[in-house]
A and B are shown apart, each in its own frame.
Chain A
Amino acid sequence: MIKIVHYINQFYAGIGGEEMAHVGPCKMDVIPPVSKAFTAAWKGEAEVVATIYCGDSYFAEQTDKALAEICELIKSVGGEMLICGPAFNAGRYGFACGNVAAAVKAQMGIPTLTGMYEENPGTDYKNKTIIVPTANSAAGMRKAVAAMAPLALKLAKGEELGPYYEEGYMYTGIRKNMFEEEIGAKRAVKMMLKKLAGEPFITEFPMPSFDRVAPNPAVKDISKATVALCTSGGIVPKGNPDHIESSSASHYGKYDIEGVMDLTEETYETAHGGYDPVYANQDADRVLPVDIMRDLEKEGKIGKLHRYFYTTVGNGTAVASAKKFAAEYSKELVADGVDAVIMTST
């Protein structure tokens, strides 16, 4: 039976939620249900022999240290392959899964595989490990295991994977030579005819999609500038008047802070469900530094703090939504004469 090691976070390890996201890497004494689900799917051909977990914040905040510790643990338990996650649309977890899978593959030379939602920032590692697309929430666990398990088994057996569009993993950007029945010119014309007819076709060479925006020129004199604060950390007036969702936010909030010198426990809180809210609820300036901006304003170090701040919850929020929110409110910022923006994220 092939021995496989599984990497998961503190949540799937049953250690706890956000309040335990700070815990360091550890090998579990008991194989958790998520690992057992993979073992079951392999039907006796392979099994998870060890499960290693790490708190999502611990990993994200000290990535190099966490990686070294996790690699040590994986080495100590042995194993012919590593699977990570699935992380669905959990950003820090996906980042950890991608990182661990890429590092273990590079450093230990064993095959690795992970699974996550296509908008997860961890998909950045898709050219360094095999990533299987999953649903955006744990409701898709059964399907995710069903998609990941057979590919993992193939890799563990040392079998070559077919192209991504046949096997169902994410495009890696790695090209392999292969023989085709028809010459390139014929295939290209066929593809073009399909395209003209509006039929689906698969390109043989996807163009990289870089959506980069060049940096704007620097602010000439910040002491004369109006600076706006924005956040994805979910800071809202106490009671969350616009009901911004704790995850997958469907909207943003715009709040007037004229005369507000300091965000206090009584007046502001966080609506974010993706990090331990204790510290932000005690003092929201820890996420949105209104107190400091007011001091700097008084001292003439900045021209003015903009009257409104814009906020949403960046927790599993669709990229398309975030894009829409900011495209909308940045127009207001420009119209209001704002010169520069500080965006804070948790």
Chain B
Amino acid sequence: MVKEIERAGLPIVHMCTVTPISMTVGANRIVPTIAIPHPLGNPKLTMAEEKVLRRGLVEKALKALETEVEDQTIFE
């Protein structure tokens, strides 16, 4: 899906935990996330802490969208 959206002309960032699979499917901007069942959260934290964590990840994704890349790039 990432590839098709990119093909349509839209810059896209893939947020996922298993980044090698994201590389395989051909995502160009990749942001690694926390865990498979909760990529953008961590149930061990309080709701407030979780929001800080999630915000950090989303900001990283937005930064990736603002960054020119020539090849598949993982934004650690």
Contacts and interface: CB of A to CB of B under 8 A. Distances in A.
Contacts of B71: 215
- How big is the B interface, by class? 35 or more
A340 B12 contact: yes
Contact of A285 (B18, B25, B27, B41): B41
Interface residues of A, number: 67
A330 B8 contact: yes
B68 A279 contact: no
Contacts of A149: none
B16 to A, nearest CB: 4
Contact of A340 (B11, B33, B36, B70): B11
A219 B21 contact: no
B55 A292 contact: yes
B58 A289 contact: yes
Nearest to A330: B8
Contact of B8 (A21, A291, A312, A327): A327
Contacts, number: 193
Contacts of A322: 1, 4
A174 interface: no
A322 B5 CA distance: 11
Interface stretch (A5-13, A55-63, A150-158, A236-244): A55-63
A215 to B, nearest CB: 4
A61 B65 contact: no
Contacts of B8: 327, 330-331, 333-334
29 contacts: A60-B36, A61-B35, A211-B3, A212-B26, A213-B26, A215-B6, A215-B70, A219-B66, A230-B1, A282-B43, A283-B41, A286-B39, A286-B50, A287-B40, A291-B54, A301-B62, A312-B1, A322-B4, A327-B4, A334-B10, A339-B11, A341-B10, A344-B14, A344-B15, A344-B16, A344-B40, A345-B16, A346-B16, A346-B37
